[in-house]
Structure 1
Amino acid sequence: MIHLGAIMSNIVDRIGMEKSVILLAAVVSFVTAFLANISVALPLIARELAMSNIIQNWVATIYLLPIAMLSIPLGKLTSKHGLNKSLLAGIILTIIGVIIACFSINSELLLLSRVIQGIGTALINVASMALIVSAVNPETRGQALGLNIAGVYIGLSSAPVIGGLVIYHLGWQSIFYIMLIPLIFSAYLSWSLKDEWTMYDGPIDITGSIIFSIGILLVIYGFTIVNTWLGIVLLIIGLLLLIAFAYFELRVNNPVFDVRLFKNSRFSSSNIASLISYTATFVITYILTYHFQYIMGFDSKFSGMLLIVTPVMMAILAPLSGRLSDRIDPQKLAAIGMGFVTVALTILCFLNESTPLYMILLAMFLQGIGYGLFSSPNTNAIMSSVPKEETSSASASLAAVRVIGQTLSLGMLTVIFAYIMGNVAIVPEYYPLLMESSRLSCIISAVLCVIAVVASLVGLRSDDEYET
């Protein structure tokens, strides 16, 4: 252990602190993206642990829920106690959650492990993005953020392929086993960094943090059962709590999140575009996973090979678009990217049992191009539209809207499943209803993408300047 620590310290000394931070952020982004995209394992998990279609979706949703709840409150907390220290704590928590998942013998234990992974990931997401902004020169910030996002897309792209392969031969638990290696590596790399970054020394707004977390919990859970009266009531209460949170934050001296940042139209429009885009697109991977394995009858290994198309295109284009966003208005690039995604999802609106595979792959290819053009510039627009002292808040906002969008995306699919299929196991007699659910989800997602294009363009008319 000591020898490994010395090796990691030597790596930091040789490549330099700034590059070590970029490497660390890329590795942890890879891991969290991989853990978020375990869709290829869900059919096997559901079969072995006797899960219905609703619980099956919750294996993914319950991982994202604590991230959505905690991202904003953790912004000031990580900035106060140290970004690298907070990142290391998040990595350790994620390791604990992954180990529990490896030994889960029932759905309850697996869901608990996913909650712990989500809490660790919340710390990782907030601290890693703020760490890049704090440690990397502004002139190369867009490129560094692009490399970080490339790590996300490499995780997304490798999860179906590597996951599908190891699951096919070793069982679904193996998708968690293999994440222990990069997690342990990143823990040592974080521990080996000699510097620490703190940007806030005031009190923590505990009241605001509690209001926000409960509000988000009620909104997301209420949305997943919005087809019931209880869901509608919880959704309304959650929205009222979030309004109360904004009102409260305007009146305290040290808010957990400075809602005045949303007065900057570039910041607000880019966040709205990010929220809508994730709500529209995150569900597509799950729709295609179910289509490949249930409708087309492919095994997890071949399905994983097919699902690589979109994230590979994202991984290729994210660093390039990030570099371009240092020279071209990032919101122009973001709007163009969402235009490509809209075309891709329009194709998938006609998905049925006879849709040829090449049409599905074309849609995935276009979606990958579009999101690769959108994500890095949109991230740069958000992180560069605030003063340096607010980078942790911007990072928390970015993490929150991304995960809230992803959670709402899966919630949308869960609601559609409940409305069209009911709470049933996905078996051949329900395949027609599965296809109907998939088409409706794609139609809603395509409409949301059009709105995201408009949101990206709104910020172009602003006089607000970027802090680059």
Structure 2
Amino acid sequence: METAAPKIHKNLLLILIMLTSFINPFMGAAVNIALPQIGGEFSMNAVTMSWVAMSFLLASAVVLVPMGKLADMFGRKKIFLWGNGVVVMASLMCAFSTSTSMLLIFRAIQGIGGAMMFGTSMAIVTSAFPPHERGKAIGMNVTAVYLGLSAAPVLGGFLTQSFGWQSLFVLPIPIGLLVLFATPYAVKQEWADARHEQFDLKGSLIYIASMSAFMYGFSKIPDNFAIACTVAGLAGLLFFIRVEWKAQYPVLDMKLFAHNRLFAMSNLAALINYATTFAITFIISLYLQYVKGFSPREAGTILVAQPIMMAIVATFSGRMSDRYDSRILSSMGMTIIAVGLCLLLPINDSTSNGYIVAALLILGIGFGLFSSPNTNAIMSSVEKRYLGIASATVGTMRLTGQMMSMGIATLVLHLFIGNDKINPSNHIQFLHASHLTIGVFIALSILGIWASLARGKRENVKD
């Protein structure tokens, strides 16, 4: 509203949002660098070490949608600030953890706080910026996410080596405190367009339980218990859809998907996009270190090409989506991703480093061109009272797609090498597994191109 404009320092607000968008993926990814050090201090086995990373991602994913609804009801700024406070507290406790269980508990709480921030940040940006500036602002915010991913292996490695693993959890504290104190100055108004509604506790509990089972199970396939969890989670999600369809005030309005083609197909495209791209870094990292014999630092130097290119392109593609149809921009991005994946399909032990970097750069261009316009399309397709849910849905598609991507890669690797460690005797099998995984991702990317094109000719932007 015009009367609220003087109360919003939009540029300062965007900077604060970008700081949280940087630190969120950084917290999720940088800890992987420190896992050997953490595992050594607490005598963790490999499975327990994986839960240091998994607990954060899983907790974030399963509470995003309920937090988005709470933000629409009680205020997006309020939930955003509470999330920063939770992250500051949990990060401090992680840094001072004295046992494995203490660290895992506060990593999960840190993930919940991260979901409160990530699930409201896009909604706040959409609320604060008018439609003709929204794509640019969203593009800047998406760029901050990619910068966080880019900095994670480099900055995380430096902090861990120089100051110990605890320093990774100290970094979010001053950033969180800055955001806590500066945000009330940047924006004095609140957005709570669904304040008259009641919170759907039943639907939220079903959703959290079902998503937990599905995401845990899919990440651990092909273990029999994991398969059972995945099936149970899918069944629970189908039941959740039935419950929400009949609810007066659903935590996730299924009619948004049924009656809003742009919202539904853009979210499907986002899910497929993350499912086809996230595990590529995992696969190429193993390829570089085991097949090519690179050190982790050398491998990281090559892998950083993709997120850096994502960050550069996302800034421009966000601005372009203010003027051009997001359907065309996003579909072009998915097509470029498919080309990049095709280039990686024939890699072998003699593939040059330059070829790998070129393929990763093309993937980065495609992902950057897809993500900002697609997010702009999602956020611009719903009424104000659904902005928190839309923001949370974007985050849910990201995390669910990432989990599915890793699940596919892990399953294929298991089919070819079983439980054996990667070594020179099974490099051929590893390459075959890599080729099949990339082939699956190419097929998914073609489906993603269709979903992106099928959303409709042009979004109906809602101010």
TM-score by length of 1: 0.88
Unaligned residue ranges in structure 1 (runs of 5+):
1-12
Say whether residues 1:254 and 2:212 are aligned partners: no
The yes-or-no answer on 1:209 pairing with 2:204 is yes
Report the CA distance between 1:434 and its aligned residue. 5.1
What residue is the counterpart of 1:26 in the other structure? Answer: 18
The one-letter amino acid paired with 1:466 is V
Question: Contact 1:39–1:289 at 8 Å: present in 2 too?
Answer: no
- The 10-residue stretch of structure 1 (32-41 or 277-286) with the greater mean CA deviation from structure 2: 32-41
Most deviating of 16-25 and 67-76: 16-25
Q: What corresponds to 1:465 in structure 2?
A: 460
Q: 1:43 to 1:353 in 2, by over 3 A?
A: farther
Q: Quick one: which of 296, 306, 310 aligns to 1:310?
A: 306
Kindly state the Cα deviation for residue 421 of structure 1 after the two structures are TM-superposed. 4.2
Does 2:175 align with 1:185?
no
> Residue 235 of structure 1: CA displacement?
1.9
Aligned-partner residue type, residue 32 of structure 1: N
Answering whether residue 269 of structure 2 is matched by residue 277 of structure 1, we say no
Q: Distance in 1 between matches of 2:28 and 2:219?
A: 18
CA contact (8 A) 1:270 1:459 kept: yes
Is this contact kept in 1: 2:7–2:189, CA < 8 A? no
The match for 1:353 is 349
Q: Distance in 2 between matches of 1:288 and 1:90?
A: 34
The CA deviation string for residues 13-36 of structure 1, in whole angstroms up to 9 with x for no partner, is 999522222111111000012123
Amino acid at match of 2:344: L
1:450 aligned residue: 446
1:85-234 alignment runs, 5 A limit: 85-104=78-97, 108-193=101-186, 194-201=188-195, 202-234=197-229
- 1:39-50, aligned counterparts within 5 Å? 41=33, 44-45=36-37, 48=40
Structure 1 residues 329 and 375, CA gap change in structure 2 (3 angstroms): same
Specify the code of the residue in structure 1 equivalent to 2:22: F
1:165 partner letter: F
Could you tell me which residue of structure 1 aligns to residue 324 of structure 2?
A: 328
Q: Is the 1:79–1:197 contact (alpha carbons within 8 Å) kept by the matching residues of 2?
A: yes
What amino acid is aligned across from residue 122 of structure 1 in structure 2?
A
Checking the alignment, whether the CA contact within 8 Å between 1:130 and 1:395 is kept in structure 2 is yes
5 Å-filtered alignment, 1:281-292, equals: 281-292=277-288
Question: Which moves more between the two structures, 309-318 or 176-185?
Answer: 176-185
* Distance in 2 separating the partners of 1:428 and 1:88: 51
Mapped contact 1:267–1:385 kept (Cα < 8 A): yes
Deviations 1:371-412 (A, max 9, x none): 110000000111111122221221121111111111222233
Query: Is the counterpart of residue 37 in structure 1 residue 29 in structure 2?
Result: yes
SS in 1 for 2:382: coil
Instruction: Return 102-111 or 162-171, whichever deviates more.
Output: 102-111
Letter in 1 for 2:92: I
Q: Structure 2 CA distance, aligned partners of 1:404 and 1:125? A: 14
Encode CA deviations 1:71-98: one digit per residue, 9 max, x unaligned. 1111221122221121111112222333
Whether 2:232 is the aligned partner of 1:237: answer yes
Instruction: Return the alpha-carbon distance in structure 1 between the equivalents of residues 218 and 198 of structure 2.
Output: 33
Alignment partner of 1:38: what SS? Answer: helix
Structure 1 pair 121–252 and aligned structure 2 pair: CA distance change class (3 A): same
Kindly indicate whether the alpha-carbon contact (under 8 Å) linking 1:52 and 1:425 is maintained by their aligned counterparts in 2: no
Is the CA contact 2:131–2:322 (under 8 Å) kept in the aligned structure 1?
no
Q: Partners of 1:428 and 1:92 in 2: how far apart?
A: 48
CA gap of 1:77–1:99, structure 2 versus 1, over 3 A, is same
Aligned residues between the structures:
455
Residue aligned with 1:250, SS: helix
Instruction: Describe the SS at the equivalent of 1:326.
Output: coil
Q: Greater shift after overlay, 112-121 or 211-220?
A: 112-121
State the 1:289 CA deviation.
3.1
1:268 aligns with 2:261: no
**Per-residue deviation at 1:117?**
2.0
Quote the Cα distance in structure 1 between the aligned partners of 2:268 and 2:279. Answer: 18
One-letter identity of the residue aligned with 1:381: A
TM-aligned CA distance change 1:65 to 1:465, over 3 Å:
same
Q: Answer yes or no: is the 8 Å Cα contact 2:91–2:106 preserved in 1.
A: yes
Report deviation, 1:354.
Answer: 2.9
CA contact (8 A) 2:325 2:457 kept: no
**1:197 counterpart letter in structure 2:** W
Instruction: Report 1:338-349 matches (<5 A).
Output: 338-349=334-345
Residue among 75, 78, 81 paired with 2:71: 78
Contact 1:71/1:123, CA 8 A, preserved across alignment: yes
Change (3 A) 1:169 1:440: farther
Residue 402 of structure 1 is matched in structure 2 by: 398
Q: Is the 8 A contact 1:80 1:200 kept in 2?
A: yes
* Cα distance in structure 2, aligned partners of 1:191 and 1:430: 57
1:159-215 residue CA offsets vs partner (Å, 9 max, x unmatched): 222223333444444433333332332232235443322222221000011111111
How far residue 50 of structure 1 moved from its aligned partner, in angstroms, is: 6.3
Of residues 375, 384, 387, the one that matches 2:380 is: 384
- Contact 1:53/1:417 (CA < 8 Å) preserved in 2? no
Distance 2:220 2:304 in 1: 31
Whether the 8 Å CA contact 2:192–2:385 is kept in 1: the answer is: no
CA 1:399/1:46 → structure 2, altered by over 3 Å: closer, same or farther?
A: same
Q: Give 1:416-455 correspondences, 5 Å limit.
A: 416-423=412-419, 435-455=431-451
Deviations 1:411-442 (A, max 9, x none): 33343454444456667777666555444432
CA distance in 2, matches of 1:271, 1:296: 37
Q: Distance in 2 between matches of 1:18 and 1:389?
A: 21
Q: Which deviates the most, 214-223 or 437-446?
A: 437-446
Q: Quick one: which amino acid aligns to residue 239 of structure 1?
A: L
Kept in 2, the 8 Å contact 1:143–1:323? The answer is: yes
What letter is aligned with 1:181? Answer: P
- The one-character-per-residue Cα deviations of 1:256-288 (angstroms, maximum 9, x if unpaired) are 111101121111110000001111111222223
Q: Quick check: 1:309–1:361 contact (8 Å CA) kept in 2?
A: yes
Could you tell me which residue of structure 2 aligns to residue 62 of structure 1?
A: 55
Kindly indicate whether the alpha-carbon contact (under 8 Å) linking 1:386 and 1:394 is maintained by their aligned counterparts in 2: yes
Alpha-carbon distance in 1 for matches of 2:311, 2:289? 25
Following the alignment from structure 1 to structure 2, what is the Cα–Cα distance between the partners of residues 94 and 18?
24
Q: CA deviation at 1:67?
A: 1.8
Residue 234 of structure 1: how far off its partner (Å) = 2.2
Which amino acid in the other structure matches residue 108 of structure 2? V
